[in-house]
């Protein structure tokens, strides 16, 4: 596997001046992002397919072990504050359980039975999307999760860093981030991890775009969970509806701190009518505004 091989250029990296070593690390990070350029079409196709499933009310599920698993969980967790993605529509299958987020549980990656049990326990099925992430593309836990979820009818997406990996063949949609050797051989938290996080960023954000959770480049479905985000929410409502911050604040309160409803209320709709327009539009503010104008 290319992610495990030693690069002769870095045999003596431990003796290099720190600035030189850091510069080499930076070059590796840049090459990790560049490795995704060839995957744009694959990422787009996976995202479109995932959004179509999730429109039916399914869940977004992540599976992984070790570094890859922790990166996968990070992507999913961030969807809640950014897009107000419901907690009950997120599933995490992490080798070793949630304790593996803060404590290494590397041996758990070999437990395919645990992954299959997780898919069964969570009742992952036809409306759900499972994203499996593994640098090697051979991790038994992640491979078993993908195979079990696909057999249960879920849409499956694999992200791996080695070509011809079994994980890529097992999933319906394969994302190959071929990052090659690491500056520290086998340390896939470096280039491989960077490419994985970037790929997941693009997949999940593209899904949210297709679900209508972004309007005019703004996070209109974000959760206003603190003072800073409350101010940001008011600015978003004011910008879209063309009203003052004070009027936006009033609309936000009338909408129960829900930005899309607040926009419609600021434009003159009643709270009930705003809710109805959004229900008709599958939660998409853009579609609700188009329906209102039509």
List the chain pLDDT tens, one digit each, 294 residues: 677 778 889 999 999 999 999 999 999 999 999 999 999 999 999 999 999 999 989 999 999 999 999 999 999 999 999 999 999 999 999 999 989 998 877 789 999 999 999 999 999 999 999 999 999 999 999 999 999 999 999 999 999 999 999 999 999 999 999 998 888 888 888 999 999 999 999 999 999 999 999 999 999 999 998 999 999 999 999 999 999 999 999 999 999 999 999 999 999 999 999 999 999 998 999 999 999 886
Q: Which residues belong to CATH 1.10.8.1080 in the chain?
A: 227-293
Exposure pattern of 185-214 as b/e (b: 16+ CB <10 Å)?
ebebbbbbbbbbbbbbebbbbbbbebbbbb
Active site residue 147: no
> Of 116, 118, 124, 130, which Cα lies nearest the Cα of 46?
130
- Structure-block tokens of residue 245: 């911050």
Neighbours of 289 (CB within 10 A): 19
The helix or strand, by DSSP H or E, that contains position 176, with its residue range, turns out to be strand 173-176
Q: Which residues belong to CATH 3.40.50.10490 in the chain?
A: 2-210
pLDDT for position 287: 94
pLDDT for position 8: 86
Active site residue 78: yes
Q: Which of 4, 23, 27, 78 is catalytic?
A: 78
Which CATH code for domain 227-293?
A: 1.10.8.1080
Token look-up 């790929």 returns: 199
CB-based burial of residue 224 (10 Å sphere; 0-12 exposed, 13-18 middle, 19+ buried)?
buried
Q: Which of 109, 147, 178, 182 is catalytic?
A: 109
> Of 150, 87, 68, 65, which Cα lies nearest the Cα of 76?
87
Hey, CA dihedral for 46, 48, 51, 56, is it positive or negative? negative
Architecture in CATH for domain 2-210:
3-Layer(aba) Sandwich (3.40)
């Amino acid at each position: 596997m290319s992610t495990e091989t030693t690069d002769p250029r870095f045999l003596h990296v431990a003796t290099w001046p720190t600035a030189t070593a850091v510069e080499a690390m930076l070059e590796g990070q840049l090459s990790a992002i560049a490795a995704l350029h060839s995957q744009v079409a694959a990422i787009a196709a996976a995202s479109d397919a995932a959004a179509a499933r999730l429109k039916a009310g399914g869940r977004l599920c992540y599976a992984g072990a070790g570094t890859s698993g922790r990166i996968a969980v990070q992507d999913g967790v961030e969807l809640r504050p950014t897009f107000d993605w419901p907690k009950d529509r997120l599933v995490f299958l992490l080798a070793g359980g949630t304790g593996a987020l803060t404590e290494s549980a590397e041996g758990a990656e070999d437990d395919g039975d645990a992954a299959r049990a997780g898919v069964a326990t969570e009742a992952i099925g036809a409306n759900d999307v499972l994203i499996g992430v593994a640098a090697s593309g051979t991790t038994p836990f992640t491979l078993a999760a993908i195979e079990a979820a696909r057999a249960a009818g879920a849409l499956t997406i694999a992200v791996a860093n080695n070509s011809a990996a079994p994980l890529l063949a097992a999933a319906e949609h394969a994302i190959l981030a071929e990052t090659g050797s690491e500056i520290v051989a086998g340390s896939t938290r470096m280039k491989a991890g960077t490419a994985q996080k970037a790929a997941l960023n693009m997949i999940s954000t593209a899904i949210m775009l297709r679900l209508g959770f972004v309007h005019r480049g703004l996070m209109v479905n974000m959760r206003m969970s603190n003072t800073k985000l409350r101010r940001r929410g008011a600015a978003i409502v004011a910008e879209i509806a063309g009203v003052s911050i004070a009027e936006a604040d009033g609309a936000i309160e009338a909408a129960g701190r829900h930005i899309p409803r607040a926009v419609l209320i600021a434009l003159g709709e009643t709270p009930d009518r705003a809710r109805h327009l959004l229900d008709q539009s599958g939660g998409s503010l853009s579609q609700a505004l188009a329906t209102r104008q039509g």
